[in-house]
Structure 1
Amino acid sequence: MSALHAGDPASFAADVLDEGPAELEHVPGVASHRPTKTCAGGALIRDSAGRVLFVVPNYKAVLDIPGGMTEDDESPKAATLREIHEELGLTVPLGRLLVVDWTPRNGVWRDCHQFVFDGGVVDGATARDPELEGVLYLTLAEAEPSIYPSLHRRLTLALSALESGSTRYAEFGREV
């Protein structure tokens, strides 16, 4: 799997070549004045009882889903697959995109596009990353006091998208 693309690396490389030479600035310096937006990918993984898999990070006070920030030239899906492997030691075939959510700037963190993919059903996952204290399988109601409200809204949409078959677009966890 390429760091650039979570699909077929050969076809991705061909697509890059087909795009032509790198675009040059018509007006020098214009690109450096554009805002930088962050991007993250995460997986909605459930157990056979339907509970959601949450990771317990040791670097923040709230639970999260497996996944994380993209690296330079890395797609959200590739970042999600990489993070699942780093955090849980799992190689899972990610399913379809469930939610795209925009979150606004929060303190030191820039605004971000958050992608949630279907991570399927995995029973008995364990933490493998030293950044994690462990994992928990919880219902959204059980997790609500321990996750950000925006993540609760995003996961509610993801579960709904899983059932309906329709990807959802949200802003700060609210479908628009």
Structure 2
Amino acid sequence: MNPDLPLYERDPDAWRAYLAEGNAAQPRKRVSADVILRDPDNRLLLVDPSYKPDWDLPGGMAEANEPPHETVRRELAEELGLDLHPGPLLCIDWVAPHDPWDDLLAFVFDGGQLTRQQVAALSPRDGELVAYEFCTIEQAHRRLRPYIARRLTAALDAQNTGRVQYLVNGYPLTAS
């Protein structure tokens, strides 16, 4: 073996063991993925989860090794019976640890505008949702927790500007 070669070339098995050790010791992040969806009247879709007191954006928590855009697709199908491929990423929000929760990376995607047929076919499917409703931006801000409302505002801004937003607890990084 040539000692001048980097470890990954000199001893690939040792390199994999080194990476596995690092992977086992590094912290894991919780990941959520939501979507901004509008009806033909340009109102925003909100959902009322059965397991929390506030309304929310459609979406949910990622499963192990699931890409965030696939999380949105799975959650929409499971919860509302909607088959939708999300569009561009609008924002990523790092949420600090709070209460019993570790920190979280929350992704928000553009889901576009639903057709009247898609809206008519929506229905809560798996018991996680009590209701859903299309709301004006003002109605959405009254129903959402403050940091989710800030995240929504940033996502809508990203839709208008075409620039992905990076947030910390719902605030743009420059304002944190």
TM-score bracket relative to the smaller structure: 0.7 to 0.9
Instruction: Establish whether residue 151 from structure 1 lines up as the match of residue 148 from structure 2.
Output: yes
Instruction: Name the counterpart of 2:75.
Output: 83
How far the C-alpha of 1:61 sits from its partner, in A, is: 0.2
Instruction: Name the counterpart of 1:32.
Output: 24
Q: TM-score, normalised by structure 2?
A: 0.81
Given the alignment, which residue of 57, 67, 82 partners 2:59? 67
Q: TM-score, normalised by structure 1?
A: 0.81
How far the C-alpha of 1:28 sits from its partner, in A, is: 7.6
The equivalences for 1:130-149 within 5 A come to 130-149=127-146
Unaligned runs of 5+ in 2: 1-11
CA contact (8 A) 1:153 1:174 kept: yes
How far the C-alpha of 1:65 sits from its partner, in A, is: 1.1
Instruction: Establish whether residue 128 from structure 1 lines up as the match of residue 120 from structure 2.
Output: no
Instruction: Establish whether residue 96 from structure 1 lines up as the match of residue 92 from structure 2.
Output: no
Percent identity, please: 35
Deviations 1:126-157 (A, max 9, x none): 32221111101112321223211111001001
Report which of the two has the higher share of helix: 2
Instruction: Establish whether residue 114 from structure 1 lines up as the match of residue 112 from structure 2.
Output: no
How far the C-alpha of 1:113 sits from its partner, in A, is: 0.6
Higher gyration radius (CA): 2
Instruction: Name the counterpart of 1:172.
Output: 169
What CA RMSD, in Å, does the superposition of the two structures yield over aligned residues? 2.0
Letter in 1 for 2:132: V
SS across alignment from 2:126: coil
Q: Matched residue pairs, number?
A: 156
Instruction: Name the counterpart of 1:49.
Output: 41
